Structure 1
Amino acid sequence: MNRKTLVPLAMIGLLAPVLVACGSTDGGSGGGDAIVVGTTDQFAATADSPAPLDPAYAYDTGAWNVLRQTVQTLMHPPRGGGEPVPDAAESCVFTDTASESYRCKLRSGLKFADGTPVTAEDVKFSIQRVLDIDADNGTAALLSNIDTIETKGDDEVIFHLSTPDATFPYKLSTPVAAIVSPKQYDGKKLREGFEVEGTGPYTMKSETDGDRVSRVVFTKNPNYKGDIKLRNDRVELRSFPDAEAMGKALESGEIDMMTRAMSPEQIKELSTAPKEGITLTEVPGLEIRYLAFNTKDPSVKNKAVRQAMAAVIDRGQIVGQVYGSTAEPLYSLIPSSIAAHTNSFYNKYGEPSRKKAAALLNDAGIDTPVELELNYTTDHYGAGTAKEFEALRDQLNATGLFDVTIKGTEWAEFRPAQKRGDYAVYGLGWFPDFPDPDNYTAPFLDKGNFLNSPYVSEEARSLIPQSRREADRTAASPAFKRIQEIVANDVPVLPLWQGKQYVAAHDDITGVEWALNTSSDLQLWELARGSGV
């Protein structure tokens, strides 16, 4: 086995026709030429989340990794990172110096699955639909500063923004801005189930087991017109219940590649005890993990409780005990590999200190031990999550200042409960929509944030649009520095660590180093079998 390590790519500035059917599918080692990719992502339709693959609702990495193969956006992230490039668009540009008017001209020849040409009105419909539905998943917040959408002829669309936003091209490159067919999608209602209609590089068929998708086969879309170059004709994405099962499938040859989320133990084993014919590749990643708080819950309403947790949690111990070399401690919502990062939590609280935590609680008149339940999801971020929360529990309880219990719940139940405010303290991960400090702040602090958090900082909310005015993103650093200070003081969220990401694949699969970008988006079109790219 060879182990490849890719140096993270430098950021640019501070940013650094689909049918779904249930039934049998081809693919796998004995089923044709499909490249088979394993994942532990779960795709479920439930009463709380009946439309997991609707672009107006989907806002998690797993769902986006299906959508990115099958729908098309005006812009898309380029292969090596950096500023988005046109995909469904032929060109896009700000037409003013204030970054308030953004004009796109559509690429010629775009067609939906039924052969209907894609027009500027379809683009307008698709974006307006997201805003009109305004799903409770926080999806629409990415596009919330759109004031009006204007069309000129069949191939030109202009977005007039309510406030300047230099990050807008990045937002148009996310699946939230997918172009969908008005014939297939209701403008006011989510599309339930697992059907997707788009103009992306692949068509898809899915196989379900009850209310869950077990595998999806992506087949090259002959009608695709865009910037992406496909290096294969077919890829299968197969969902596994856990990393262990996925690893066994890779070793047996049932799958060709496995991706998120591999366990820390698997990564260590593949690094230190190579398996014949299997290559482990580290690719640039910008994942963060954190605790978040329902600041209206009586147990954590007083920020002194949250501050005391920030003062006593030992991130280094958690990383060393659970994740090893695959993660590193994080002291801000903005990871250290993104410009504008400051170690705001370390600057305020320093090294873990029971004495400091006790003083914070005592000064606020809070009786100890403080009883808390920490909630986490069992099946969304990988096998290390349970061990991480056990370590957090043990650390907090060892101080005598807290009486902590932990509870794990499947993602399909966990996420709706979290949005309802059922949990006082809960753990989540964040894979950025795009690699800019804005995307590590606005989704947590702005109005309509994806946490559905009751916490409000008027100062932070005024700084967010201020930071977006800066086309030169380095000029936004002072605003982001102040936002990080606010978060460290108020602790609506408590950053824990930032992680690396890995892919393991058989040696005959090429393009593996491009299969995941920094936002953990799968780029399955990069994979090929048996020959270089």
Structure 2
Amino acid sequence: MNRKTLVLPALVGLLAPVLAACGTSGSGSDGGDAIVVGTTDQFVANSDAPAPFDPAYAYDTGAWNVLRQTVQTLMHVPRGGGQPVPEAASRCTFTDTESESYRCTLRDGLKFSDGKPVTAEDVKFSIERVLNIKSDNGAAGLLANIDTIEVKDDKELVFHLSTPDATFPYKLSTPVAGILSRDAYDGKKLREGFEVNGSGPYTLKAETEGDKLVSAVFTKNPDYKGDLKLRNDKVELRSFPDAATMGRALESGEIDMMARAMSPEQIKALSESPKEGIELKEMPGLEIRYLAFNTKDPAVKDKAVRQAMASVVDRGRIAGKVYGATAEPLYSLIPSSITGHTNSFFNKYGEPSRKKAADLLGDAGIDTPVKLTLHYTTDHYGPGTAKEFAELRDQLNATKLFDVTVQGTEWSKFRPAQKRGDYAVFGLGWFPDFPDPDNYIAPFLDADNFLNSPYVSTVARNELIPESRRQADRTAAAVPFNKLQDIVATDVPVLPLWQGKQYVAARSDITGVEWTLNSSSDLQLWELARGTA
């Protein structure tokens, strides 16, 4: 294989949560050895996904966490979660009572990695570039309600929104709103490969094999100016082919931490039989898993088929048999830990029932068994996914109402095929862009959505989603969100399955791990340090 080294401004993989550490004897910023983090995430740049780290294209947790290390945003969510605070900006605020005009002022002295100053024109260019390219990956949908961007001077600009949106500060904290250099990026096309130019906390030296990134070293950016406080000089990310290999590397001391994606078996073993010098910590997670449907495909075009599947799937059995204590059943797109959640699917379908499914199919005149293939990705969500889909297949086939097979595909091929509409039924996971119920609804139901779904609910798009965004007090948006969840349960464009907890395992001399991920699973490598627990 061709093996080469690239020097880039930054990169990362996804860690999944969190180990508590008690104090430290050192700052970790003494120029010593890099803290080494293991991941099973695979980063590929090929013909199907040529620009994995372009903010106009990237829209999965792993790629976004690459961008978070190198590309600044005007706002960011604090390490412990909560409302966004200024990052590249010194101040941002709504200037009206309708949440339609948002003014930001940049910090003094911001520079890109090539030494050029960051200006308000760069911010305008970066965001308009996302909207102009409008990649089919769905990220542009987060910024779709921007009407115009008015530049006041080198440091000040105003976003004029086409509709009120109280969640807009959150959207400016996501990598799709990352600030890019006009000299380094074309305004009309994606930037291919792994290179990223930003003004973030790290630069990157990356090693590749062919079209894959296999190792990355993040080095502190001496010109960084922002809200983040770095506790280390270097963090290395190493990619492993599977969780078992990554686990052995942690035990041997080759790496200091492992997270995404630990297997349920590893989590269980470390919980029940802790290993000396290694600690495991669980924290509440906001990840969800679901089945999604290409509602134009003849196999699932009739919603009675989708409703019948919702009637017989046993979420509790999937969570318990495959994931054990690491997951719990989910009966809505909005997880139970997010304000606004309702058990819409349970309210409509109740406990798994073959009779209810048979009645739905019979009333719709659908011949049984219904032949379906359930598609899943083999290398993106961890080793439990194959077992999960085997359990789904067995549950559906046991009813004799379905004739189901399953098919696994690597992520670099799976995601492009899914967006093209090649799959009638497919499984995906979702880590929120920001911890608000809007981000569990709009990416699935709004125009230019993440799924590239043909499903349309005009009531959801034109009435309920806009209504929910008008509420600055997010608890006041409960009524439209309840209605939106009921629409999903009735039409079943997606079928929620479970929500997960987060875990990370690390060696006991690594500190700051409890802050490495915030509530939205944003990776914050700058929090890690080497010391004594």
Both proteins in one fold, TM over 0.5: yes
Matched-pair contact (CA < 8 Å) for 1:283–1:513? no
- SS for the counterpart of 1:70 is coil
Matched-pair contact (CA < 8 Å) for 1:332–1:343? yes
Instruction: Map 1:294-443 onto structure 2 (within 5 A).
Output: 294-443=294-443
Instruction: Map 1:468-507 onto structure 2 (within 5 A).
Output: 468-507=469-508
Partner Cα separation in structure 1 for residue 9 and residue 219 of structure 2: 13
* Residue in structure 2 matched with residue 114 of structure 1 by the alignment: 114
* 1:230-270 deviation per Cα after TM superposition (whole angstroms, max 9, x unaligned): 00000011111111111111111111001111100000000
| Shift, 1:215, TM fit | 1.0
* Residue in structure 2 matched with residue 286 of structure 1 by the alignment: 286
Partner Cα separation in structure 1 for residue 275 and residue 70 of structure 2: 34
Letter paired with 2:309 = M
- SS for the counterpart of 1:55 is coil
Letter paired with 2:234 = R
Partner Cα separation in structure 2 for residue 425 and residue 148 of structure 1: 38
Extract unaligned runs of 5+ from structure 2: 1-5, 11-30
Matched-pair contact (CA < 8 Å) for 1:42–1:239? yes
Extract unaligned runs of 5+ from structure 1: 1-17, 23-30
Matched, 1:231 2:231: yes
Matched-pair contact (CA < 8 Å) for 1:21–1:206? no
* Residue in structure 2 matched with residue 12 of structure 1 by the alignment: none
Matched-pair contact (CA < 8 Å) for 1:73–1:175? yes
| Shift, 1:284, TM fit | 3.1
Matched-pair contact (CA < 8 Å) for 1:21–1:207? no
Letter paired with 1:465 = P
Instruction: Map 1:10-21 onto structure 2 (within 5 A).
Output: 19-20=7-8
| Shift, 1:48, TM fit | 1.1
| Shift, 1:157, TM fit | 1.0
Letter paired with 1:165 = D
Partner Cα separation in structure 2 for residue 396 and residue 387 of structure 1: 14
| Shift, 1:465, TM fit | 1.1
| Shift, 1:65, TM fit | 1.3
| Shift, 1:32, TM fit | 5.4
Matched-pair contact (CA < 8 Å) for 1:283–1:503? no
Partner Cα separation in structure 2 for residue 398 and residue 472 of structure 1: 46
* Residue in structure 2 matched with residue 51 of structure 1 by the alignment: 51
* 1:471-505 deviation per Cα after TM superposition (whole angstroms, max 9, x unaligned): 01111100000000000000000000000010100
RMSD: 1.3
Letter paired with 2:351 = E
Identity %: 79
- SS for the counterpart of 2:479 is helix
Larger RCO of the pair (alpha carbons < 8 Å, separation 6+): 2
Instruction: Map 1:148-163 onto structure 2 (within 5 A).
Output: 148-163=148-163
Matched-pair contact (CA < 8 Å) for 2:36–2:255? yes
* Residue in structure 2 matched with residue 8 of structure 1 by the alignment: none
Letter paired with 1:20 = L
* Residue in structure 2 matched with residue 261 of structure 1 by the alignment: 261
Instruction: Map 1:238-257 onto structure 2 (within 5 A).
Output: 238-257=238-257
- SS for the counterpart of 1:205 is strand
* Residue in structure 1 matched with residue 17 of structure 2 by the alignment: none
* Residue in structure 1 matched with residue 23 of structure 2 by the alignment: none
- SS for the counterpart of 1:285 is coil
Letter paired with 2:263 = S
* 1:494-528 deviation per Cα after TM superposition (whole angstroms, max 9, x unaligned): 00000001010000000111111222221100100
Partner Cα separation in structure 1 for residue 346 and residue 321 of structure 2: 20
Matched-pair contact (CA < 8 Å) for 2:80–2:519? no
Partner Cα separation in structure 2 for residue 41 and residue 284 of structure 1: 21
Matched-pair contact (CA < 8 Å) for 2:146–2:162? yes
Q: Give TM-score, length-normalised by structure 2.
A: 0.94
| Shift, 1:355, TM fit | 0.6
Letter paired with 1:91 = R
Letter paired with 1:445 = L
* 1:64-106 deviation per Cα after TM superposition (whole angstroms, max 9, x unaligned): 1111111100001101100011000000000000000000000
* Residue in structure 1 matched with residue 26 of structure 2 by the alignment: none
* Residue in structure 2 matched with residue 454 of structure 1 by the alignment: 454
* Residue in structure 2 matched with residue 203 of structure 1 by the alignment: 203
Matched-pair contact (CA < 8 Å) for 1:285–1:501? yes
Matched-pair contact (CA < 8 Å) for 2:74–2:172? yes
Letter paired with 1:180 = L
Q: Give TM-score, length-normalised by structure 1.
A: 0.94
| Shift, 1:283, TM fit | 2.6
Instruction: Map 1:62-73 onto structure 2 (within 5 A).
Output: 62-73=62-73
Change beyond 3 A, Cα 1:433–1:118: same
Partner Cα separation in structure 1 for residue 406 and residue 507 of structure 2: 38
| Shift, 1:130, TM fit | 0.6
The alignment of Structure 1 onto Structure 2 pairs a total of residues equal to: 507
Partner Cα separation in structure 1 for residue 285 and residue 236 of structure 2: 23
Partner Cα separation in structure 2 for residue 90 and residue 109 of structure 1: 11
Partner Cα separation in structure 1 for residue 497 and residue 248 of structure 2: 30
- SS for the counterpart of 1:286 is coil
